[in-house]
Structure 1
């Protein structure tokens, strides 16, 4: 583990020893990250005014920002989630096994179910629920089609690839 790991008001991040945190990533405050996950270059995970919980084998790709709402909920991310480069996640919930595309924004109170996909560049507005088996795209995002078997079969492949890549970096 490397990166900038900072406490906030006496609360230290809890990061499983198997997690890869890139040297230019920042993890701050009330953050927990589960085994086999990875936080890539230029990410900021800031649990200062509420909590952030990230499950196992989740990859948070380069430039992603994860934050919380002081007057709302924390941010909750399940196991086996892929979060594309430069995503913005704010006070939302991502169930295990979902996929968030590059530069997607998921806002306060939004909920992405397991087996759902948010397309690259999509804006999921506050309180929306992305259902299992749906692809949401656009700004504001809306359901555009059902996911295919080809779409969902890529999810675990991507997870395995990132777990393997993180291990290479950790051993590096």
Structure 2
């Protein structure tokens, strides 16, 4: 099924040479440490904390409205160390979700109002249901669906999940269109 067009006022987004679409109403701190690999969407009110450590986001990934990407940290004897946050390709991060994970694997979906604790690792093809809280250092195996607070595995995804997520994220990008009349 084809997605309907999602329009936005052209002046509200900056489009980079790599095709990234970043809302002017998002907050990117430490932009020299934020790498968007191409055709990514960062929506309004999102916060990317590149001032703490590097954030890498793979191609065709979408960061929805109000999401926060915050690199994980570890408290040492007299300081705090931050670790890079790696988001794979074809990933969707839902609205108002907080991600402090170490890694979100490619072809994964993270729902609305989720919290991914420090040092969590989501392997490829994971699905995190809305309102799920993953405790720190949770490792989510490939093709697993997690839900609840604390997040627990509830079922497995079919083998075609990678293809479906690839198709969905590319279609979402294709139908996210600037409207010059707004």
Q: TM-score band (shorter)?
A: 0.7 to 0.9
Which of 43, 48, 53 is the matching residue for 1:50? 53
> How many correspondences in the alignment?
161
2:131 matched to 1:130? no
> How far apart, CA to CA, are the structure 2 residues paired with 1:156 and 1:119?
18
Distance 1:90 1:38 in 2: 19
SS of 2:86's partner is strand
Alpha-carbon distance in 2 for matches of 1:107, 1:26: 21
Gaps of 5+ in 2: 1-9, 74-79
Structure 1 portions without partners, runs of 5+: 6-14
Q: List, as ranges, runs of 4+ consecutive aligned residues in structure 1 with deviation greater than 4 Å.
A: 1-5, 149-154
Q: What SS does the aligned partner of 1:18 have?
A: coil
Distance 1:36 1:147, change over 3 A: same
Q: Which has the higher Rg, Structure 1 or Structure 2?
A: 2
C-alpha displacement at 1:59, in angstroms?
0.5
TM-score (norm 1): 0.83
**CA pair 164-57 structure 1, distance change in 2 beyond 3 A:** same
Matched-pair contact (CA < 8 Å) for 2:101–2:121: no
1:67 and 1:16, CA in 2 relative to 1: closer, same or farther beyond 3 A? farther
Contact kept? 1:86, 1:102, Cα under 8 Å? yes
Q: Report Cα offsets for 1:97-124 as digits up to 9, x if no partner.
A: 1111111111111001111111111111
2:115 pairs with 1:105:
yes
Distance (Å, rounded) in 1 between the aligned partners of 2:86 and 2:154: 25
User: How far off is 1:146 after superposition?
Assistant: 1.2
Give 1:57 shift: 0.7
CA distance in 1, matches of 2:89, 2:65: 19
Please provide the CA RMSD for this pair: 2.4
Cα deviation, residue 79, structure 1: 0.9
Tell me the residue number matched to 2:44. Answer: 41
Deviations 1:116-172 (CA, angstroms, capped at 9, x unpaired): 111111111111111111100001101011124686664233202321134x12x74
Q: Does the Cα contact within 8 Å between 1:99 and 1:118 map onto a contact in 2? A: yes
Distance 1:2 1:52 in 2: 25
Work out whether residues 97 and 115 of structure 2, in 8 Å CA contact, stay in contact via their aligned partners in 1: yes
Please point out which of 62, 67, 84 is paired with 1:64: 67
